[in-house]
Structures are given as C-alpha cells and as structure tokens.
Structure 1
Amino acid sequence: MLESFRLEECPRTCYYIPDFITKDEEENLIQNVNSVPKPKWTCLKNRRLQNWGGIPGAKGMVPEQIPEWLKGPCKKIFDLGFFKEKAPNHILINEYLPGQGIMPHSDGPLYFPTVSTISLGSHTFLDFYKPIEEDNHEFDSSLENRYAFSLLLEPRSLVVLQDEMYTVLMHGIKEIDRDLVEEKKIFNFKKLGNLYSESEFLSRKTRISLTIRHVPKVLKINLNSLLFKK
C-alpha cells in the first residue's frame, strides 16, 4: 500500500500522502503549536520556529522530552516504516506567513537520511534544486538554472524524502504569497486529484510545517534533569 504513494516522477525516493491526518487532528495540532510559551519560539528574519526533542549538533543532541501532542504524529509516521527501527526523536516546527519561505538547503548528516514533513493550515510549493557544481567554472549556479521541479504540499499531507532526494538535491520555498499551477513542474500532480487547474494561482495562508526526523547521535545527558538539579 505504501508503494502506491511513491512518486515515480521524482529521483529516488519520495513519497506523498494526501490527507495523512484529519481536519480535527490538524486543528488540534495548530492549537497546540500556537499555545506554547513565547520563549519556545525562535524568531528568524523570514519565519519563526520551535525545536522539540533537543537541538542537534556536531557532538550530538542533548535530548528533551517530546510533548504528548506531538507523539501521535511521530508514532503514525514511525508505524509506516520510513525510519526502519529508528523512532523519530526530533521535531522542527516552522511557521510561514504568506510571502515567507526558506532558501534552498539540504538537511545534512546530523539526521538519519530520511525527512518527513506534515503541512498544516495552508499549501505551499516545495522546490528542488540541483547542487552547485563547484569544480565546473562554466556551470551557471543561479537558482533558475539549478531548479529541477516542485511538489505541491497540501494541508494535512505528508511528504517523505530519502536517498537522492535527501542526499543530493536541495529544497526550498520561494518567498511569494501565491503560486502558479504548472502541471509539468509539479511532480506529484497526479496524486492531487482534479482539484487544481493549469495556470491557476493559489493564494498562500499561514502554514505550519512539522518536520519529523531521527537524530542518531544523542547524548546521555538529559537537559530536563540538569535544569532541576540542585
């Protein structure tokens, strides 16, 4: 059954599951995200975010307890087998207002080479880019030239990236407030049903993404025990 969600149009390997969670689950998650204390938010220039489970680093991640309201989606993803026997232990929550995005990047070696993302509240276009060819001086390294394709991520959907989709291609979100539907550029278009029309513009709303991953290198020190140690 899981194989039916694999996108054959993409390089290895990408899965897209529409309606991975229900509307009630989506509303509950959004409410919990917006109810956390303000100090839990980290404000960046183009978005704000929350870290749950700890903050990964080169020496390892000091683990923090994951709140109950995030354990449900983590278990639901784990049960699909994407992380093999590795249970998700880190959740990055990003809030994107219309017009906000993130520069093309790769998630890097701090994580098990699988990334899963649930979208809440709004769609977005996740754009993929070829890596910069540093040894090729004639190569045009502009984003326009490196652009490969996009995925339309719908509210309540799950996208999972593995293999070349994780280790080779970079991914990002343009800082725009509406997206143009072009079937040839949207590699999961066949999984979207008949909800979108060619040349249609989709206006973005506030989107919250739950990026759920596994950090292999976890330190034995527990930050919660340090905070309350006398």
Structure 2
Amino acid sequence: MAKPCEVSEDLDEYAVKDAPPTVYYVPDFITEAEEEYLLQQVYRAPKPKWTQLSGRRLQNWGGLPHPKGMLAEKLPDWLLKYTEKISALGAFAGKTANHVLVNEYKPEEGIMTGVPQTEESRYVLSLLLRRRSLLILQGEMYERYLHGIRGVAVDTLTERVANLSAAGGQVGETLTRGTRVSLTIRHVPKVCRANLLLGRK
C-alpha cells in the first residue's frame, strides 16, 4: 500500500486524525446518480456471480486470488471508471487497482474479525461509513489491524467513532441499518498468466 507521502495532496484534508496511520474518509465521493448507476450494475450481474457467505453476499471481479497468483480478468467498464479514479489519488503507490469485491449486507449481517466480540481489550475504534463515501486504509491501519462489522440492526454512535464529525454524526445518535452494498477496491500485486496456473510451460 502507499505510504502517506505518496498519496495525493487532495486527500490530506480527509485524513482521520484520531486513528492509527493511515485512514482517509471522503464523504460524498460519488453522486446520487452514480450510486444509483452502480447499484443497477451490481444487481444486473448474473446470479452465478453472487457467492453466499456467512453474514453477506459477495461478487468477485478482476480474477480469483490464488496462492500462486491471481488469474486476472478484465474489469467491466462500469467498475473501471472508479478503480482508475481511486488509483489516481495515489491509493496504491502508483499502481492501478485490479480487483473489486462487491459485498451486500442485510440488517444484522456483518463480518467477524476472528477475535471474540467479548474481547473488548482488542477494540481500538469504529468508523462511520455514510452512503457514497470513500474509505482508504493504508500503512499500519491496513497491515496490522483486524476489522469487522458487527451483525446488528441498529448502531449507537459513541465517542470512539474516529471520524464522527467528518461523517456528520453525534454521540448517542442511533442509526437503523438497511441493506448496505460496499465495493472493496484493491491492487493485487501477484498476478499470473493462465498458462502458469494451468501448469503449461
């Protein structure tokens, strides 16, 4: 991932100061029309494109990650615009994003961190992600910290939400969840050709 000094100066104002390095939160990164367009494309995807996991549904675009390297596939045009836009911010140290995960969460769905939820001593902070916002995690925050989404129907905001003011939230505010669709855009560094994965010389 990019170091903070490699990130576009345009992002400096969006750095989350009350978090370990490095977190950027950009509200309203896309317009309402772009949001509607992206959701249309997500739900137009053929049914086999969806994978049902515990706590969410998932679409995988750009290739299937593999220990020997990802067998890359061309991203569809509707995703390319956004992978290029985020790459241009310096989010991937000059490289271009080549992989996208689309996650759909219903209320009370989420992702476990691998750490028991009762082990509060491991909890560092929360982030509030509004619709159409962009979250960039780099450096220590990306490499050393586990993240998860608790499977609840209602969230109550506390002072431990690191980007509370940037996201327009208030301590004590309760937010009822609807269906959430998120795009995880990343650069997979290890990519292999089809003949290598298939064992051809």
Output the TM-score relative to the length of structure 2. 0.88
Counterparts of 1:29 and 1:178 in 2: how far apart (Å)? Answer: 25
How far is 1:142 from its partner? 4.5
Q: 1:147 aligns with which of 114, 123, 126?
A: 123
Q: Which runs of 5+ in 1 are unaligned?
A: 106-131, 133-139
Match of 1:65 in 2: 74
Counterparts of 1:75 and 1:31 in 2: how far apart (Å)? Answer: 20
Match of 1:172 in 2: 148
Counterparts of 2:117 and 2:91 in 1: how far apart (Å)? Answer: 32
- CA deviation digits over 1:41-100, x for unaligned, max 9? 001121110000001121100011111110111111011111122100000110000110
Confirm whether residue 200 of structure 1 aligns to residue 159 of structure 2: no
Q: Any idea what SS the aligned residue of 1:84 has? A: coil
Confirm whether residue 29 of structure 1 aligns to residue 38 of structure 2: yes
Counterparts of 1:18 and 1:143 in 2: how far apart (Å)? Answer: 31
Aligned-residue CA RMSD (Å): 1.8
Q: Quick check: which one's strand share is greater? A: 1
Greater mean deviation of Cα atoms: 196-205 or 95-104: 196-205
Quick one: which amino acid aligns to residue 75 of structure 1?
A: E
After TM superposition, list the pairs within 5 Å mapping 1:92-103 onto structure 2.
Answer: 92-103=101-112
Runs of 4+ off more than 4 Å: none
Tell me the percent identity: 50
Match of 2:183 in 1: 210
Counterparts of 2:54 and 2:93 in 1: how far apart (Å)? Answer: 36
Q: Any idea what SS the aligned residue of 1:192 has? A: coil
Counterparts of 2:24 and 2:83 in 1: how far apart (Å)? Answer: 16
Aligned length: 187
Counterparts of 2:172 and 2:17 in 1: how far apart (Å)? Answer: 24
Quick one: which amino acid aligns to residue 12 of structure 1?
A: P
Counterparts of 1:203 and 1:61 in 2: how far apart (Å)? Answer: 38
Counterparts of 1:9 and 1:21 in 2: how far apart (Å)? Answer: 24
Quick one: which amino acid aligns to residue 45 of structure 2?
A: V
